[in-house]
Structure 1
Amino acid sequence: MNRPDTIVLIHGLWMTPLSWQNWLERYEKAGYTVLAPAWPGAEGDIEDVRRDPSKLNGLGVTEVADHYERLIRQLDRPPILVGHSFGGTIVQVLLSRGLGAAGVALDPAPIKGVLRLPVSSIRSSLPVLKNPANRGRTVGLTPEQFHYGFANTLNAADSRQAWERFHIPAPGRPLFQAAFANFNPNAATKVDLRKPDRAPLLLVAGGSDRIVPPSLVREAHHRYRRSPAVTEYVEFAGRSHFIAGEPGWEEVADHVLDWAVRQTA
C-alpha cells in the first residue's frame, strides 16, 4: 500500500470546517495535504451560513456521506479520514463502503446497534428532538445549550467565545436518524460491523463528553468485535465534546496522526 499523503477532516453538527483550523495547520506542517470540506449547504463564509442556513434543511447522513465519497474517490490514493461527532459517524459509513486508508472517529454519534441512551445525551439533543418538525429544519443552540453539551469543561466565558466563533444552526434530520436507527432496518447510520477488509478504525472518547459519553463510544467499539479488521478505542480524560478545540487539542491531534501512520505504514 502507498502510504497516504492526504488527510480528510469531517466536521459534525453545529460546526463548519473552521473548527478544524488548528488541526489543518498542524497536519500540513507535518507534510500532509489536508482537506476539510464543508457539509453540503455549509460552504462559504460562516456569517453567510448563519444568516441563511436553509440550504441545510433536511440534510441527512446518507447525503453527507455521499458528498464526501465523491470527493474521496477523486483522490490518487486512499486518505486518512478523521471525523468529529456526526463526522465520526460519517467516517464509519465511509469505511464500511470500502473507502479510506484508516479512519478516526472523535466522539462519534451512535451508529445503528448502539443501544445506550444516557441522560446527558437526551438533554443535549432535546433542542432538536423535542419537536418532530425539526426533522426538516435547521436548529441552533443557545450559548447555554452549547456550554452544557459541547463545551462543559470550559468556563462560561470561554464557551461563549467558542460558540460565537464556531457555531452554526444544524440540520435536525441526522439526530432523528440516529435516535430511531434501531427501529429502521435500512437506517442511514447502519454500517457493516463484520466487514473483514475494512480499513483500521480508531474510536476516540472524551471522558467528560455529555453529548456522546464514553459509554456510547465503548459500546460502538464492542459492536465491531466480530470484525477481524483493526478497531481500537482510546479515551482522553476530562475532555468534552469540544475535544478538537478545547485546550489540549494538540495531544489528541498528535495521537490521532501517530495512530493512523502506524496503521498505514
Structure 2
Amino acid sequence: MSPKSNPTVLFIHGLWMHPTTWDPWAQVFNAQGYSTMAPGWPGDASTVGETREHPEDIAGHGIDDVTDHYAKVIADLDEPPIVVGHSFGGLIAQKLLGQKLATAAIAIDPAQPKGVLKLPLVQLGSVFPVLSNPGNYRKAYSHNRKSFHKSFASAVSQDESDALFEQYAIPAPGRPLFEAALANFAPHSTAAVDFNARRGPLLMIGGGKDRTVPKASSDSSFKKYAKAPTINEYKVFGDRGHSLTIDHGWREIADYSLAWLDKQGMSPPQGKHESQS
C-alpha cells in the first residue's frame, strides 16, 4: 500500500491583499507537514509593487472569474485540497467546498453570500467609496493609508496599519463588491453558495472588531448553514479586525485553524512537505 500523501492547503486572499500575505501561514503549515500553495487572483503580479503599477490587469474580474481560476488550479492537483480563504477569498472557499472541489474549508471574515440580508452601517461605510461610483464596476480601486486603517486594519495601531499597507496592499477589482451588494436581487448571483451540499467540514472565523465584514455579517452567514448535513463550526475572535490574518496576532488564527483541522482528522502523516507558488 502506498503511503498517504500530505494534504495540500490552498490559500486564497481577498480584496486589496497580495498572495504573499499567506507566506507566514505557509511556513507554519509546512512545518506541520502540509503542502501549501497560494496562487494569486487573475491579474495579480508576482510582487506587490508590480501589481500596484498595473491595476488594469486586475480590473473587471468578478466572483465567477476568480472561482473558476482556482477551480482550474485544483484540477491540476492529484487530490482536492483544503481551502483557506480570507474576506472574498473566504466566500470563494465556501463556493469551492459546496462544489466538492475541496476536502474542507476555513473561511476567515468571509464576504457575505447571497441570502444574507443583514449589512451593518459600518460595513456599508467601508465599501461606499467603491459602490458610490458605478464606473468602479469595471475598474480597480486602491485604498490609501487612511482608508486602509479605518476599514481594514482598524483594530491595530496606525503605525502597524501603515506597515501592513506598505507590505501587502494592492488595488482590487470593484466588480466583486457590486456583485455581492446586488446578490439578493439577482436570481443567479455569482455570490451564491450551496449551503446544504453534502461536502467536507467548514470552519468560519469572524473578528469582533471587524469593520469590513462585521461580526453581525459573519453571524448571518453562518446561520445559513443551520440545516446543512455536514460539519460546520464558527469561532469569533472578539478583539480582532479584518487584518487578523496578517497583523501581529495572525499566529493565533493560524494555530486555531491547524488545531481545527487536526480535530477533523485531516492532519498530515509524517513525511516530506513542500510549498508551491
Q: Please give the range of the TM-score, normalised by the shorter of the 2 chains.
A: over 0.9
Give unpaired runs (5+ residues) of structure 1.
none
Secondary structure of 2:84's counterpart equals strand
2-structure distance, mates of 1:98, 1:161: 38
Identify the residue that residue 29 of structure 2 maps to in structure 1: 27
RMSD: 1.2
Find the counterpart in structure 2 of residue 16 from structure 1: 18
| Cα deviation digits, residues 207-226 of structure 1 (max 9, x gap) | 11001011111111111111
Q: Which residue of 1 aligns with 2:209?
A: 208
Distance 2:162 2:176 in 1: 25
Quote the residue 2:59 is aligned against.
57
Specify the alignment match of 2:225 in structure 1: 224
Q: Equivalent of 1:74, from 73, 76, 91?
A: 76
Aligned residues: 263
Give the match for residue 241 of structure 1.
242
Q: 2:6 touches 2:33 (CA, 8 Å); kept in 1?
A: no
Query: 1:34-183 alignment to 2 at 5 Å?
Result: 34-183=36-185
SS of equivalent residue, structure 1 residue 95: helix
In the TM superposition, what is the alpha-carbon distance from 1:262 to its structure 2 partner?
2.2
Structure 1 CA distance for aligned equivalents of residues 234 and 189 of structure 2: 24
Contact 1:102–1:263 (8 Å) recurs in 2:
no
In the alignment, residue 163 of structure 2 is paired with which amino acid? Answer: Q
> What displacement does 1:261 show?
2.7
Q: In structure 1, what is the Cα distance between the partners aligned to 2:209 and 2:151?
A: 10
Which whole-Å CA distance do the structure 1 matches of 2:5 and 2:151 have between them? 37
Q: Distance in 2 between matches of 1:223 and 1:96?
A: 13
Paired with 1:66 and 1:216, the residues of 2 have a C-alpha distance of 25
Higher relative contact order structure (alpha carbons within 8 Å, sequence separation ≥ 6) = 2
TM-score (normalised: structure 2): 0.92
Residue 175 (structure 1) shift:
0.3
Structure 1 moving runs of 4+ over 6 Å: none
Unaligned 5+ runs, structure 2: 267-277
Contact 1:80 1:260 in 2 (8 A): no
Amino acid at match of 1:67: H
Query: For the Cα contact (< 8 Å) 1:102–1:264, is it kept in 2?
Result: no
State how far apart, in whole Å, the 2-side matches of 1:161 and 1:25 are: 21
Task: State the distance in 2 between where 1:250 and 1:3 align.
Answer: 25
SS at the partner of 1:105?
strand
In the alignment, the residues of structure 2 paired with residue 60 and residue 152 of structure 1 have an alpha-carbon distance, to the nearest angstrom, of 26
Deviations 1:5-24 (A, max 9, x none): 11110000000111111111
